[in-house]
Structure 1
Amino acid sequence: MVVGEQEKTLPVEATLSVLRAVGESTRLRLIALLAESELTVKDATAILGQSQPRISRHLKLLTEAGVILRFPEGSWVYYRLSDSPSGELARDLVARMSLEDPVLASDKARFDGLRRAKAKEAAEYFAKKAKTWDQERTLHAADTDVEAAVLSAIGDRPLQSYLDLGTGTGRLLELLKDHYVSGLGIDASHDMLSVARAKLAEAGVSKAQVRHGDIYALNVPPRSYDLVTIHQVLHFLDDPARALAEAARALRPGGRLVIIDFAPHSLEFLREEHAHRRLGFSHDQMERWLEALELDLEQVTDLAPQDSSDTKLTVTLWLAKDRRIVTDVPAANPTREVA
């Protein structure tokens, strides 16, 4: 998709509005931080050492100028630089600021300390859940084999935008970081989102964000993503077909959907001990769902465990493509908020 010059530039009044919004020391420090990562008011208060009302006021002015976006998540709100021309102008200003400036250097040091503290919290949470996850991992093919299959399925085709549903720890956002320009992970668990943010920050993945959301009612623009993935999520859902319909709605014409889940099995204890709602999915069932959504099934890969006993699980990867014809009509910006 080629974006027209008129979509990259700002009229004079809008340019002046952005310059007025960032033309204050606290707000300039805020955009320097937001150019690196998203923040909450609490984060910004701790880093800049200012009161919450004052930080909130500065963030409000930047939001009104279109420089940053706000994303409510429960009782918290996350802020990040917009991908609009206003946000890009702010990024250009940050790129020309000296990182050796004492004020900016101090902000960066406090920001790094905050990140380390969050990473520690995430690691502690992850450790509590690890026993359950490790037990399930022993039942199926190695994660490295599954990830290799994902990389093989998507190939080397560049992606402008990527959406990961049920992102969990954000592992796929990290795995595919060299393939997309902009990534977004959606998950219903606030705890898992905290883990994902910490892990993405630790891995240096700044072009992906994670958001709280409902897989049955995605708050993203339709026809916006080149690739959508659903990794080991459908078996937890009462209505997998509905989730697939939401995923298909998010695909651009010609976009691809990758689903990774279990083949049919009879391990009933997974319902009782691991909250599985479905005991796997057959090739035929998945093909029927995808056909109903006008998605063409292009590839099916079964990954059997090395021990193929009745107590082991086969992981299946399905690759489907939106059959709509690609046009030059620009798709919606996947990073903007949808009411």
Structure 2
Amino acid sequence: MSLDRPQADASSLPYAALLDGLKAAGEDTRLRLLAILDQAELTVSELTDILGQSQPRISRHLKLLAEAGLVERHREASWVFYRCAGEGPGGAVARALLGLLDAGDPLIRRDRERLSEVRSAREAQAQAYFASHAERWDAIRSLHVPEALVEQQVRDALGDAPIDSFLDLGTGTGRMLEIFAPHIQRGVGVDLSPDMLGVARVNLERAGVRNCVVRHGDIYNLAMPRDSFDAIVVHQVLHFLDDGGRAVREAARLLRPGGRLLVVDFAPHDLEFLREAHAHRRLGFAEETVAGWMAQAGLEPELHRALTPEAAADGSLTVSIWLARDPRIAPAQDVENRDNREVA
């Protein structure tokens, strides 16, 4: 059984690129690093925990892999993240090699088990934060431009046309469901934290919202069939995640033909305390990063807006909004049903 990544044809690579890639990967620790980084974006300290080796040793191997183009590095403030290269000759070599690697190998299995432990620790940290801040979640979001402005921009981006099915990923307090409830037939909010779900249920009941429900779920692996929703919102969630691109792909899977995905998150910033005190995994995203995830998931990016505070001050954040559409054409019957609802 091979790893999850499909095999790739690297036969057209230049001789030097192929040789450099094989030299870089042809060592025990470096091949293990490639297999791990194919599964997740990780820091040196996390890789040290997984492989049980010293930080200088791991850093040295990562440097060689990066120089050969087999892994990519991304700096965020004081942290550096690594992942398997997705493009270029090095990425092609990495994909070809990993396509040959047996995922059932005991060493690979053990590394994946340790990776799961690292992921579980991250999730536990985020859940603990959500649980301890459930009642104050809306106040924490006041670090950026006024929430009313963000909400208005979100409504404008999706427009006033009725929505049959609506999904709010990382629903938190349920605010997005509350906003869109008058414009949708049915809404579902998903969150990993039972405490946040309890807050959302109270808020929706208080607002008299009866066409929406909230459910516990994993944003990476949602127990929902493909093509289930006309509109999906991911509001201030991606910066908590280990792999934002994976979450976008899972959301795209659930979109119906012609459906829309709207993402709200922070632009890049250097407020390191948000990572330490509030479990932010990423310090914002560049416009092209989220748009690239959307395109890789098969969606067509249509819109990006940046909401910058009028007066820059310590603790102020710029909020970005991205909108993408599933390029498939909706069946004629779906269009007719939607038109009938608009006339009604």
Where do residues 1-339 of structure 1 align in structure 2 (5 Å cutoff)? 129-130=134-135, 134=139, 136-309=140-313, 311-328=315-332
2:242 partner SS:
coil
- Structure 1 141/265 Cα, relative in aligned 2: closer, same or farther at 3 Å? same
- 1:94-149 Cα offsets, whole Å, 9 max, x none, are xxxxxxxxxxxxxxxxxxxxxxxxxxxxxxx9996455753x43421000000000
What is the distance in 1 between the residues matched to 2:195 and 2:230?
Answer: 28
What is the distance in 2 between the residues matched to 1:126 and 1:234?
Answer: 18
Matched letter for residue 212 of structure 2: A
Q: Which runs of 4+ in 1 moved over 4 A?
A: 125-133
- 1:202-246 Cα offsets, whole Å, 9 max, x none, are 111111000000000011111010000000000000101110011
What is the distance in 1 between the residues matched to 2:217 and 2:211?
Answer: 19
1:301·1:316 contact (CA, 8 Å) conserved in 2? Answer: yes
- Structure 1 278/128 Cα, relative in aligned 2: closer, same or farther at 3 Å? closer
What is the distance in 1 between the residues matched to 2:261 and 2:164?
Answer: 15
- Structure 1 211/281 Cα, relative in aligned 2: closer, same or farther at 3 Å? same
2:135·2:199 contact (CA, 8 Å) conserved in 1? Answer: no
- Structure 1 132/194 Cα, relative in aligned 2: closer, same or farther at 3 Å? closer
Unpaired runs of 5+ in structure 2?
A: 1-129, 335-344
What is the distance in 1 between the residues matched to 2:142 and 2:225?
Answer: 38
1:65 aligns with none
What is the distance in 2 between the residues matched to 1:310 and 1:128?
Answer: 22
1:295·1:323 contact (CA, 8 Å) conserved in 2? Answer: yes
Alignment length (residue pairs): 206
What is the distance in 1 between the residues matched to 2:235 and 2:179?
Answer: 12
What is the distance in 2 between the residues matched to 1:129 and 1:213?
Answer: 17
- Structure 1 158/202 Cα, relative in aligned 2: closer, same or farther at 3 Å? same
What is the distance in 2 between the residues matched to 1:229 and 1:277?
Answer: 20
- Structure 1 161/268 Cα, relative in aligned 2: closer, same or farther at 3 Å? same
1:284 partner SS:
helix
Q: Percent identity?
A: 51
Q: Per-residue deviation at 1:292?
A: 0.7
Unpaired runs of 5+ in structure 1?
A: 1-124, 331-339
- 1:223-270 Cα offsets, whole Å, 9 max, x none, are 010000000000000101110011000000000000000000111111
What is the distance in 1 between the residues matched to 2:238 and 2:133?
Answer: 23
Matched letter for residue 142 of structure 1: P
Q: Per-residue deviation at 1:307?
A: 2.2
2:56 aligns with none
- 1:272-314 Cα offsets, whole Å, 9 max, x none, are 0000000001011112111111111111111111322364210
Matched letter for residue 234 of structure 1: L
Matched letter for residue 167 of structure 1: T
- Structure 1 142/299 Cα, relative in aligned 2: closer, same or farther at 3 Å? same
Matched letter for residue 204 of structure 1: G
1:271 partner SS:
helix
2:131·2:195 contact (CA, 8 Å) conserved in 1? Answer: no
Q: Which moved more, 1:292-301 or 1:271-280?
A: 292-301
Matched letter for residue 240 of structure 1: G
2:137·2:173 contact (CA, 8 Å) conserved in 1? Answer: no
Superposition CA RMSD, Å? 2.1
Matched letter for residue 168 of structure 1: G
1:162·1:182 contact (CA, 8 Å) conserved in 2? Answer: yes
What is the distance in 2 between the residues matched to 1:253 and 1:129?
Answer: 35
1:139·1:305 contact (CA, 8 Å) conserved in 2? Answer: no
1:205 partner SS:
coil
1:227 partner SS:
strand
1:156 partner SS:
coil
